[in-house]
Structure 1
Amino acid sequence: MIYKGCNDRMASDDIYDLLSPLLDDCMALFQKEDSKTSHSFVQSLKSIHNNAIHIRPIAIGLVGKVAHKYDASPHIKANGYRSLLALLDSLCHLIVGHLQTICRERKNVFFRANQYSDKLRVLAQNLHQMRALFGYAQILIGHSEDGSLFATEQESDDIMHDCEIMAKSCFYSHVQGFQFYPGIQPIIQALSMFTASYNDIVQHSTVWQTTKSLFNSGKYVVSPSVRGRQIEKIYSEAEAPFFKAFFSLPEMGVGVLLPNLVGDTVRVNRIFNLPPKVFELETTEGHMVEINRTSCIGHGRHVKARLISAVLREGQDSPDSPSIPDMGLDKSKVLLKAKHKPRSKTLLFFCHGGGFIALTSKSYEVVLREWSKELDCPIFSVDYSLAPDAPFPEAFEECFYAYAWALKNAELLGTTAEKVIFAGDSAGGNLVLSVAMRAAAYGIKIPDAMLVMYPSAVVRYSASPSRLLAVMDPLLPHCMLCSCLCAYTGFKTEKVAYNTTEHKLSPTDGNVDNDGDHTESWSTASTSGDLVEAHFKIKLANNFSPLKSRYFGERTKVHHTALVKNPYISPALAPDEMLRSLPYLDIVGCELDPLFDDSVTLARRLHKIGHQHQFHVVRGLPHGFLSLQMCRETKEASKMCLELLKSKILGSAV
């Protein structure tokens, strides 16, 4: 599961050699029959055959030959183009497996033709949309500056626009999460069912309507097609407040008790409220530098943080500490006879993920408890202010202030801070990178090593090969990616309204024929007033178009500013001298993550300047696996991250 780099995995000649005769065999089975279901089989088989013929030369001939130019390093074969190839490989194997099952079970008296036909239709639609993504990837190769994985702004806008109006329900229905390991697929599907039900429930204000919606939510379990359409509809309309509320649910109600029930026992779990005071901190050269909290933010808010320690150490129960026990229970106070252990030489400074808009350290408490126990050191996790109420630079400034405060008051955290390790995932990875560069600029102690997991290191809404994966990603779709990045950066956005007066299913319900004669999945009536007709801007080869969504009432057009090049907002774009100021760096990226190219770009920059780092690529897991400790594969990935931290504390590879 965890490996140094991607193999040259793609839909190889072997899989095509299997696919072609299977298509012929299935075609022979159903062409003889005259029924609606048989016609559906035939149409899906023709679609798969046609799209496979056209996608093969793009995947193997073009993208496959240039992918190595964008690798993280000569030894780490990983980038978004290779991720697309791996995705196509998974889809083709899934299609072959389904066709083999159809051929084997066709004569069985219990053969459920409608179910097999529905799944084959969805697979055909998946391959059709994948062909469009490969067409966009082909365009990206010619519109990236200086070998960058990210396209120029104009080309990005056109590609992201087309991705947003593509039909996506096929990715969220029968085969949702097919690109990931089987162990996590049920978890992803369950999350989608809950998302669909949650959206229904929050739209009603009365108890009766809410209860009715709750009972009706069973349809999302029974019918994958209904669930797929509902998820597509939600993702076409949702904005930052929806995602903020949804992902904050685990921190509400009985969810706050979960760490005490399933997490490791810790002696210290305290919430800190750091006052906005000015203080001086000694630099590495012996000078004093002023840390001015008030001027950083201007609102005079306290900075919140959490201290977790498996054992009670000297200073952690000091009356001078600006902290209170979490949930009113602190075992350092209950166990009065507990012996204080000496202060740890190490401090782990952690920033949580959540797209800059959601979550707190509470959502990571189970993981942090385990880490504190296994690493035998206290963990100081910052609960920074969230966007859009607190856009950049507030979260960044708060994290920097919290780090400087921790160095100044290390004894209150039960540490001497002789060794400091930074860790963060997703948005938190962005923040610890930025804080480390700011620490170097101030001349104060920089961390001795860092671990960033699937970081958001290029904060701009731009097209890259891995960002194309957001079309089908169940946890990080385009709308969420856009909402989070815009909320944090404060980019100006413009709502473009599309005409949605008449959306009808086409007679083929999304099936497609040969090029130039295919039917889009949804048709749109002519526009009126200020409404804009939704159409694809990119002209793909052979007059090919993706299937169009029925849900695109309006689109958010993002207007980037010079802020995208600010090194503290997009660390992967920082000048060489700022990147050189970073300590040894472990980067963990997920091959199938829409943000994978962020990690690759950072690793490429570090390799180019000869900076010591290691890039670890995780296969088959989604963005945010650290918060999904519910299957063997995610637990293994989390354990790998823990082992990386252990190696840094013990001093190896630093």
Structure 2
Amino acid sequence: MLDHLVGKPSSNWKRTQVLLTLLFGWHIIANGLNAPDPLARLYKRSFYRATWILTALDAGFFTAMRFKPMWLRHILSLVFSAYYLVFADDAEEKVRRVRSTISIDQMRVSWEKVAQNPILGFFSKILRPSLTIQDILTIDRPLYHKDLPAIEVYRYYTGHKDTYAQHDTILLQFPGGGFVSMPPPCHEDALSVWAKHTGFPVLSVNYKKAPEYPFPWPIEECFDLYVALIQSKGKIIGLSGEKDINIVLVGDSAGGNITAAVTLKILAHNQQLALKNVIPSVTISSTINDETYGHNDLSNTQLEACHIKVPIGLILIYPALDFEMSCWMSTSKLSLIRAESNTSLFRSGSLDSIWQTKDHLSHVSPLSVVPDLEKKQSLWRRALGIKPTLQQRMADRAHPIRDKVQTRDPWATARLSMTSRMSFFNDRLLSPDLLRAMAILYLGPHASPDFESDYLLSPVYAPEDLLAQFPQTYMMCGEKDPLVDDTVIFAGRIRQAKRKYRQDNPLDENFPSGDGVRVKFLEGMSHAFLQMMPFLPEAHQAAKTIGDWIIDLSETNQHSQTTWVQNNQTRGINNTNNYDTNNNKGHKSEIGDHHVAEIITSEKDMIHRRKQELLQGLF
């Protein structure tokens, strides 16, 4: 063709044409002609592979939904999934179309694959630790809700059956699933690991799901179960009932929302009791038994007069804590993230990555959530081994938008940033369509809540006086999770509330030291990684880390309990009021003893307290 353009046939032009054709093909192979993939560098390789498998399974199960009978559907679901594993683009397109107008049945088919499909369930069970106790318990509601349906609880235990009844620490899990799906069998991969790793009894609640039972039914149901467990000292689940029990609450995703809401409900109840200046004559954790009232239930009046023992710790895993699905972050939230990024609260380098996603003008594209790549060197320079100079590298580098925008000083403190829900709009697991659908189903047809004031719906907006009383809290989330802002902001609010309480009440020696919060981010990962344990190695590590947290909470509680008793014995305080001696977190559970401690003290303590008051008056 080149010799025709020149107008003179020539072998040299033909050889040049062949050479250029080969170079052009090599350029296509090396650089491609397609648009850049926005997810190319967003996830870790292992997590992206796990999402590829999940997407293929979703597409296969969606395709097989129309087939009957059930045995044929179970087989075809796996056959179609195998097809979509090979044709990944078709799987993504299939899932995208279904999610755009997803129904409640499609959600449950997608998220309950392991529990509903016997073939997947069989292979999944092989990979789990063996259990000595695995059954389903039915627990009646307390007397104040006696007309409501009983609560279904799944129980897991790996120790010897004879030792089960002697435990005084249990793990109570509120499973996630968007408030609409995923009963405990869908979480048994993680539950069995925790039961094996800790040796504690593990309970998982099969609370009623939306849309049949919308907000606030799941919170009330889980709260009633907690009260029943504390009241009976675990006797209703087969424990001896001879001593108070310590409960660690665990929740993932929607279950994290319920876990935080139940804790807030407990703290609000205890705070209301304290504000009435009532020193309770009974405490649910220690004095209510069969002989007290002749049954295992409390009436509503009796509950109002009783202090409820607080959990010894919380573990929130990629929790959904904010129903306000806004696009832009408020100045207060952004300032909180900026302030907490300079503290030791977040024990992970991933917070820097999270903060970079908020700085939209530092990228070539304002929608980018990953660092920009430098411009590639030309093929000729790479072939000849010519290295660019420093000036050439600076000139070739893609400049962020900020270099093209004239800024002024006031903008430095009022940066516009999107929420993580919008930043990770293209997430492979938690799309905006799913978030909207779950929120609508959970709220129901008649709800008109105020998202920024109803803290049982959005715990991230809980008042500071309740957050200051939170027990030790552990949080885990993927750094690329659309809900990661909820983890960062909620952890920061707890830390600030505790710090403020410590400043306002420097003489409260029962208030625990430290931040009270520990957060771990998983690099390059998004939502629901605990559902990928069969094919995601990092999920196993995360589950074992959570198991270590549970053990740490139990050991810390035992140590603090011993220290509390020793301190009171040193001061000559006799614990004769039958109050909750197991509450080591200083959340005003010992109302009577707290007042006694301020009166019965040594002269040295009085002088020290007076000095502190004088110093506070000077500053």
Q: Same fold by TM-score, threshold 0.5 exceeded?
A: yes
Counterpart check, 1:590 vs 2:478: yes
Following superposition, the deviation at residue 456 of structure 1 comes to 0.7
1:385 aligns with 2:208: yes
Picking from 210, 222, 241, the partner of 1:399 is 222
RMSD: 3.4
State the partner residue of 1:623.
527
CA distance in 2, matches of 1:180, 1:357: 27
Q: 2:145 aligns with which of 280, 293, 300?
A: 293
1:10-409 alignment to 2 at 5 Å?
Answer: 117=32, 120-123=33-36, 126=37, 175=40, 178-203=41-66, 220-254=84-118, 255-257=120-122, 260-278=125-143, 292-294=144-146, 300-312=148-160, 339-340=162-163, 343-409=166-232
What residue number does 1:426 align with? 253
Name the structure 2 match of 1:468.
Answer: 422
Give the aligned partner of residue 457 of structure 2.
569
Could you tell me how far apart the structure 1 residues matched to 2:130 and 2:77 are?
A: 39
Check conservation: 1:592, 1:620, Cα contact below 8 A: yes
Distance of aligned partners of 1:345 and 1:560 in 2 relative to their CA distance in 1, 3 Å threshold? same
Larger radius of gyration: 2
Return the letter of the residue paired with 2:483: L
Distance 1:576 1:485 in 2: 26
> Contact 2:142–2:224 (CA<8 Å) still a contact in 1?
no
Is 1:435 the counterpart of 2:262? The answer is: yes
Letter in 2 for 1:591: E
Q: Which amino acid aligns with 1:632?
A: P
- Given that 1:588 and 1:617 are in contact with CA atoms closer than 8 Å, whether structure 2 keeps it comes out as yes
Corresponding residue SS for 1:121: coil
What is aligned with 1:100?
Answer: none
Structure 1 portions without partners, runs of 5+? 1-31, 39-105, 128-170, 279-291, 313-331, 333-338, 493-558
Letter in 1 for 2:190: V
Which residue pairs with 1:42 in the alignment?
none
8 Å CA contact retained: 1:437, 1:581: no
Which amino acid in structure 1 is aligned with residue 153 of structure 2? A
Residues 1:240 and 1:250: Cα distance change in structure 2 (over 3 Å): same
- Matched with 2:538 is 633
* Match status 1:455 vs 2:343: no
Kept in 1: contact 2:176–2:251 (CA 8 A) = yes
1:340-387, Cα deviation, whole Å (9 max, x unpaired): 466112111111111111111112223222212221211121111111
Cα contact 2:114–2:186 (8 A) shared by 1: yes
Cα distance in 1 between the residues matched to 2:532 and 2:522: 14
Counterpart secondary structure, 1:306: strand
**Cα distance in 2, alignment partners of residues 388 and 192 from structure 1:** 25
Shift of 1:619: 1.2
Whether contact under 8 Å (1:193, 1:227) holds in the other structure is: yes
CA change 1:218–1:466 in 2 (3 A) is: same
Q: Higher RCO, 1 or 2 (CA under 8 Å, sep at least 6)?
A: 1
| Inter-partner Cα distance in structure 1 for 2:309 and 2:543 | 28
Paired letter, 2:523: R
Q: Secondary structure at the match of 2:46?
A: coil
Give the 3 Å change call, closer, same or farther, for CA 213–398 of structure 1 in structure 2.
closer
Cα displacement string for residues 42-67 of structure 1 (whole angstroms, at most 9, x for unaligned residues): xxxxxxxxxxxxxxxxxxxxxxxxxx
Q: In structure 2, do the counterparts of structure 1 residues 601 and 391 end up closer, same or farther at CA, with 3 Å as the change threshold? A: same
Distance 1:205 1:268, change over 3 A: closer
Change (3 A) 1:405 1:259: farther
The DSSP-based 3-state class of the residue aligned with 1:305 is strand
Task: Note the C-alpha offset of 1:573.
Answer: 0.7
For 1:183, what is the secondary structure of its paired residue?
helix
Do the aligned partners of residues 490 and 565 (structure 1) sit closer, same or farther apart at CA in structure 2, a change above 3 Å counting? farther
1:581 and 2:581 correspond:
no
Q: Return the offset for 1:218.
A: 6.5
* Equivalent position SS for 1:349: strand
- The answer as to whether partners of 2:174 and 2:258 remain within 8 angstroms in 1 is yes
1:32-84 deviation per Cα after TM superposition (whole angstroms, max 9, x unaligned): 999xxx9xxxxxxxxxxxxxxxxxxxxxxxxxxxxxxxxxxxxxxxxxxxxxx
Distance 1:639 1:196 in 2: 31
**Corresponding residue SS for 2:181:** coil
Local SS of the residue matching 2:195: helix
Aligned 8 A contact 2:60 2:79 in 1: no
**Mapped contact 2:324–2:451 kept (Cα < 8 A):** no
User: Following the alignment from structure 1 to structure 2, what is the Cα–Cα distance between the partners of residues 218 and 293?
Assistant: 48
Choose which of 431, 434, 439 in structure 2 pairs with 1:480.
Answer: 434
2: CA distance, partners of 1:367 / 1:214: 23
Matched, 1:651 2:514: no
Aligned partners of 2:78, 2:204: CA distance in 1, in Å? 36
TM-score w.r.t. structure 1 length? 0.54
Query: Equivalent residue of 1:243, what SS?
Result: helix
Alpha carbons 1:461, 1:485 under 8 Å: kept: no
Change (3 A) 1:643 1:107: farther
Q: Is the 8 A contact 1:378 1:414 kept in 2?
A: no
Displacement of 1:470 in angstroms is 4.5
Q: Which structure dedicates a bigger proportion of its chain to strand?
A: 1
Query: Quick check: 1:352–1:364 contact (8 Å CA) kept in 2?
Result: yes
Provide the C-alpha distance between the structure 2 equivalents of 1:406 and 1:574, rounded to a whole number of angstroms: 25
- Cα distance, 1:229 vs structure 2: 2.8
Residue 217 (structure 1) shift? 6.8
